[in-house]
Amino acid sequence: MSTVANGVISRRRFLTGLAAAGLAAAAGVGWFARRPQPPGLPKPAAIAADVRAEFGRAWQAYKRLAWGHDELKPVSGGYQEFFAANHPVGLTIVESLDTLYVMELDSELESSVRWIETSLNLDIDAPFQVFETIIRMLGGLLAGHLATRNATLLARARDLADRLLPAFTKSPTGMPYRYVNLHSGAVSVPVNYVAEVGTNLAELGTLSRLTGDDRYLRAAKRAAQALYERRSALDLLGTTIDIETGGWLNSVSVGPQPPVDSYYEYLLDGYRLFGDPDLQLWFQTLTAALQKRQWDAAGGHAWYAQVQFRSGTLVNNHESELAAFWAGSLAEAGMHDEAAQVLASFQLVLDRFGLFPEEWDYTDLSILEPSYQLRPEFADSCLALFISSGGSEIYRRPAFQLYQAMKAHCRVANGYTIVTDVTTRPMTRGDLTPAYWFSENMKYFYLLFADSSRFDYRDNYLSTEGKVLIGLRPATR
């Protein structure tokens, strides 16, 4: 077993490498700063206190109505399991460990860790989706261990990863099967999406770093490399691939949108976390192609057109709310002006509809899917730009706007729920609090306003699922 290097590479070295590829722009707040700004915010500490109180109110509802189950249904007062029917894994609990830590909700954190120690059973005879299990369950256990230094959480993380590894090791290409049975190791569904194939580096690499066992990072890198080697002559990727044959099943490059999005993010993150020059090169190459072939900055706003990945011909101008994360990745790559322009484009949608619809056509902002799934990506980017800009106030403002809109349209007696149609007034509500609302949305809002003593704003890393894998500071009592 070899030991993986610890820590994030220096930001100077990181940005120097990107600048050499012509990707990093000069630092600055760019286009977004020229937008008219809303009136002054309440004091940041007051907003942070409100976020913490709202989280606590919803958390108590989860404890009362759904404890140990995966996700709360706050309108009906029920619950649902995320991965497999009749097999709860406490997804909301596992995902929320580091949120509880940074919010200093220590008694809730202690009871959550106790539940994992006594009640979490991973020997489940059912297929689990590999991608979601890695970014949510494995990432949650790792972040919880880093917050508490509890050895059981790391042991559970390793046990889970060992149950997931057959999805990689049984594949002839190294790209993982979409599902694996946690009890038997049986794999299934060889048709997989780019994001699901290539979003493993941060969690598996962190596990390698913590255990000294490089099998996990090697499996993740092999999968990422297999995708990169199958790029087109234009350095673009399709969306769907047969992991057994390596053949593409869909030829549209959607850019930093699902179901490809977080693959680009994790090439960047893998380089940031582990200093691997291969990951740096792959990110540079693919991002340069996106900027050349798909960047559409017409009309003062910036989006990514969807094109044929071999020819570059236009397919459509559809945009997903989930792509709002990309502004943060661009900022972390040193492309500050482009990042601010992308964030401002999503701000336009928030201004228009009050909350984000799931999908729209960016040429005229006509809605293609009207639901708001309590997605965290816009707040994620606000936090990333806030940090990368050294704490510029302008990135708190759009996050606060979203927070207020969420309170206005999603708040119910038992917490917060999704919206099924943002065009109705009042907005039509659904009945679900996704586990990621506890672990991502509220963490991002809190860190933006709290000046948390348990989070290092200068040296940190949050995964695609918002797990703090670098930057948790020891609690002081």
227 exposure class (CB count in 10 Å sphere: 0-12, 13-18, 19+): buried
Distance (Å) of CA 356 to CA 166, 257, 339: 38, 15, 19
In this prediction the pTM is 0.94
- Residue 31's pLDDT is 40
pLDDT band at 300 (very low <50, low <70, confident <90, very high): confident
Distance (Å) of CA 251 to CA 5, 278, 306, 318, 392: 37, 25, 10, 16, 40
Distance (Å) of CA 459 to CA 211, 424, 470: 22, 42, 7
- Assess contact for 237 and 253: CB atoms under 8 A: yes
- Told to judge if 132 belongs to the known catalytic residues of this protein, a careful annotator would answer yes
- Residue 40's pLDDT is 77
Active-site annotation holder among 203, 213, 338, 377: 377
CATH fold, domain 11-470, is Glycosyltransferase (1.50.10)
- Assess contact for 219 and 200: CB atoms under 8 A: yes
Which helix H or strand E contains 328, and what residues bound it? Answer: helix 326-332
- Residue 476's pLDDT is 84
The DSSP 8-state label assigned to residue 86 in this structure reads T
DSSP assignment string, 278-322? HHHHHHHHHHHHHHHHTEE-GGG--EE-EEETTT--EEE-EEEGG
Side-by-side strand order, sheet with 306-308? 252-253, 306-308, 314-316
Residue 299 tokens, joined: 């009309």
For 303-324, letters b (16+ CB in 10 Å) and e give bbbbbbbeebeeeeebbbbbbb
d(CA 205, CA 2): 12
d(CA 468, CA 446): 13
Task: Give the helix ranges, DSSP H, for 243-276.
Answer: 261-274
Residue 103: CA atoms inside 13 Å, Cβ hemisphere, count?
Answer: 28
Active-site annotation holder among 54, 235, 261, 337: 261
Active-site annotation holder among 132, 278, 421, 431: 132
- Residue 206's pLDDT is 98
Nearest in space to 374 (alpha carbons), one of 359, 358, 361: 358
Active-site annotation holder among 81, 358, 369, 431: 358
Residue 46 tokens, joined: 């007051």
Express each pLDDT in 48-86 by its tens digit: 999 999 999 999 999 999 999 999 999 999 999 999 999
d(CA 167, CA 176): 5
- Residue 32's pLDDT is 44
- Residue 477's pLDDT is 63
Give the mean model confidence (pLDDT) for residues 436-457: 98
d(CA 205, CA 221): 9
Express each pLDDT in 313-364 by its tens digit: 999 999 999 999 999 999 999 999 999 999 999 999 999 999 999 999 999 9
- Assess contact for 75 and 414: CB atoms under 8 A: yes
- Residue 18's pLDDT is 54
User: Position of tokens 């092999």?
Assistant: 222
304, β-bridge pairs: 295
Express each pLDDT in 111-166 by its tens digit: 999 999 999 999 999 999 999 999 999 999 999 999 999 999 999 999 999 999 99
- Told to judge if 358 belongs to the known catalytic residues of this protein, a careful annotator would answer yes
- Assess contact for 327 and 31: CB atoms under 8 A: no
* For the chain, domain boundaries: 11-470
pLDDT band at 33 (very low <50, low <70, confident <90, very high): low
pLDDT band at 47 (very low <50, low <70, confident <90, very high): very high
- Residue 5's pLDDT is 43
Residue 156 tokens, joined: 């559970």
Side-by-side strand order, sheet with 179-181? 127-129, 179-181, 187-188
Q: Is the pLDDT of residue 104 over 90?
A: yes
- Told to judge if 261 belongs to the known catalytic residues of this protein, a careful annotator would answer yes
